Amino acid sequence: MKKFLLMVIALCLFQASQATIRLPHIFSDGVVLQQKTDIQLWGWASPNEKVSIWPSWQKDSIHLRANPDGKWMVTLHTPAAGGPFTIDFDAHNHIRLSDVWLGEVWVCSGQSNMEFTYNWRKAKDIGIDFDSCNRYNLHFFQVPKTTGVTPQEDLPGSWMHCDSNTLKNFSAVAYFFGKKLNKNLHVPIGLISSNWGGTPAEVWTPAALVNENPFLHKWQEKIKPSIGWPILAGRAYNGMIYPLTNFAIAGTIWYQGESNVDTYQSYGQLFKTMIRSWRTRWNQDFPFYFVQIAPFHYNAENGAELRDQQTQALTLPHTGMVVTADLVSDTNDIHPHDKYDVGYRLANLALSDHYLLQGHFPKSPVLSHYEVKGNKVQIYFKDAETGLNVKSGSTKDIQQLFIAGEDQHLYPATLSIEHDGSITVSSKEVTAPKLIEYGFTNTRLGNLISGDGLPVAPFRIKLQ
């Protein structure tokens, strides 16, 4: 009897020692996987254990072994959008993922203006259609606020269908972005919301890229400590981005910058470093669309400086910027309530530049290049095909457009709008232009608009 009990105990211990197959939380019921691409499925099992995987959209199962550390990963190609499907995982135990969809997956990240939800401020004026929101094939994954000293392998959370309850606590910008994608692409849309109000961009960037760069590290050390959010480089990246980087995505939308206004000097380099690092870790040169910070009464003119730094990211391929100069009714509120237009403008970038959809998807004109012609400067813009106008007036009514000579004294500029969508700027007071500024203030961003009524992005040109 004693011998029998020992055998039973030994068998139980042996079975307990066999780790059950386990998946990261990003693979839950309701998951949206990127369509028509190579994706990775991964997880954990016993060391060297056989793992079988069967996605219901294909005929054959996939067979592999976990490595000596118990980790496993497989790459497979997904077909065109559809669902719902199932995925079965078999090893020592069995897992079935249900309600699996194939579609377009976007990461939605940044600080509080991306985090902004209906329930966050009971913002009843942001235009969310709760009665009909469930008619759109949208799926949410909310990444909890968490940090890591080192890169983490997993994060909490699960996928949710968009409905009147789940939407109240989800990013409004992300929702409006996803809604327009779904209405135009007619495929399931997966939105991964990973954001944290108050955070500077350093915390979303791998720590080594900040700490080992003397310029970036110098400015990172000037960020004021906070109790409510992390400020150390890499902490949110380690906990809220890195665990997602094996998960195939279509692209990223980003709304952040307010917490870097006081250290704007490094933001252009920092922002480009962050974008490159995400693309490198994902091993995808995915589109990255971002929102220029809104008008607000910052100290000095640091808001204008930060906006100028943000535009440096447009030198990277597959980037685009949404301008918000016309979307703010209260410049004493750092959280404008109009998230509808922000989300839709981000979607316009994706639909036209990434999905190459035929149709009219208006975008704000952004400075492209210039030519000096004596005492005049001709300025050209990207996305100005519909022409330019002065809102509610003629060219004589242009606001916040200035020109300076060698002495850097700014004079109101004379504006001429050309037929090709460019503008010519001059002043009788300036014979040799050296500086041009348009909308280069914290709150007064000018009245030059496209033929679609969208604001031209503020700019500053330092002429050689």
What average pLDDT does the segment 233-251 reach?
Answer: 99
Predicted pLDDT of residue 249: 99
For residue 123, the model assigns a pLDDT of 56
pLDDT tens column, 88-136? 999 999 999 999 999 999 999 999 999 999 887 655 567 788 888 888 9
The single-letter DSSP state of residue 455 is B
- 240 vs 120, more confident: 240
pLDDT in the model for residue 131: 81
Tokens encoding 215:
């310029």
**Average pLDDT in the 332-338 region?**
92
DSSP 263-304: GGGGHHHHHHHHHHHHHHHHT----EEEEPPPP---STTHHH
- Rounded to whole angstroms, the Cα distance separating 47 from 44 reads 9
Mean pLDDT of the chain: 93
Is the preceding peptide bond at 84 cis, omega within 30 degrees of 0? yes
In 3-state terms, what secondary structure has residue 404? strand
- Cα(45)–Cα(18) distance, integer angstroms: 8
Pull the structure tokens for residue 376. Answer: 């005049």
95-109, 220-234, 386-400: range with highest mean pLDDT: 95-109
pLDDT in tens, 147-170: 999 999 999 999 999 999 999 999
* Residue whose C-alpha is closest to residue 387's, from 418, 429, 361: 418
Question: Between residues 298 and 27, which one has the greater pLDDT?
Answer: 27
The yes-or-no verdict on residue 14 having pLDDT over 50 is no
12: pLDDT strictly greater than 60: no
Residue 178 tokens, joined: 């996803």
Q: Which of 117-131, 285-299, 322-336 has the lowest mean pLDDT?
A: 117-131
pLDDT number for residue 18: 54
The terminus-to-terminus CA distance of the chain in angstroms comes to 95
453 class by beta-carbon count within 10 Å (0-12 exposed, 13-18 middle, 19+ buried) = exposed
pLDDT-based confidence at 19, cuts 50/70/90?
low
How many CB atoms sit inside 10 A of residue 405's CB?
Answer: 18
- The model's pTM is 0.94
CA distances, 135 to each of 61, 100, 164, 176 (Å): 33, 18, 11, 13
Decide if 21 contacts 93 (C-beta within 8 A).
yes
Whether pLDDT at 389 is above 50: yes
3-state secondary structure of 355: coil
Contacts of 452 (CB under 8 A, 6+ apart): 362, 386
Compute the distance between CA of residue 254 and CA of residue 173 in angstroms, rounded to an integer: 10
Report the SS3 class of residue 103. strand
- Residues 410-424: what's their mean pLDDT? 96
Q: CA 224 → CA 117, 209, 262, 271, distances in Å?
A: 26, 20, 9, 19
Q: Which one, of 89, 30, 85, 97, lies nearest residue 64 by Cα?
A: 89
Summarised one tens digit per residue, pLDDT across range 52-92 is 999 999 999 999 999 999 999 999 999 999 999 999 999 99
State mean pLDDT over 433-457. Answer: 96
pLDDT confidence of residue 4? 44
Residue with tokens 């280069």: 440
What is the distance between the alpha carbons of residues 167 and 78, in angstroms, rounded to a whole number?
28
Structure tokens given for 224: 């004021």
**248 vs 124 pLDDT, higher one:** 248
- Integer-rounded Cα Rg, in Å, for the chain is 26
SS3 content of the chain, % helix, strand, coil (to 5): 30, 25, 45
Superfamily of domain 103-354: SGNH hydrolase (3.40.50.1110)
CA dihedral 321, 326, 332, 335 (to 10 degrees): -50
Contacts (Cβ under 8 Å, ≥6 apart) of 144: 155, 156, 157
443 pLDDT more than 80: yes
Closest to 241 (Cα-Cα) out of 286, 194, 288, 198: 194
Per domain, the residue ranges of the chain are 18-101, 103-354, 366-462
CA distance 32 to 244: 13
DSSP string, 46-64: STT-EEEEEETTSSS-EEE
- Please report the pLDDT score of residue 134 as a whole number: 85
Of the candidates 49, 52, 100, the one whose C-alpha atom is nearest the C-alpha of residue 79 is: 100
Structure confidence by residue, pLDDT tens digits, 451-462: 999 999 999 999
CA distance 445 to 450: 14
Q: Give 172's DSSP letter.
A: H
d(CA 78, CA 81): 9
18-101: CATH topology: Immunoglobulin-like (2.60.40)
Mean pLDDT confidence for 1-28: 60
Question: What is the structure's pLDDT at 10?
Answer: 38
| Mean pLDDT, range 382-399, rounded to an integer | 94
How many other CB atoms sit within 10 Å of the CB of residue 18? 13
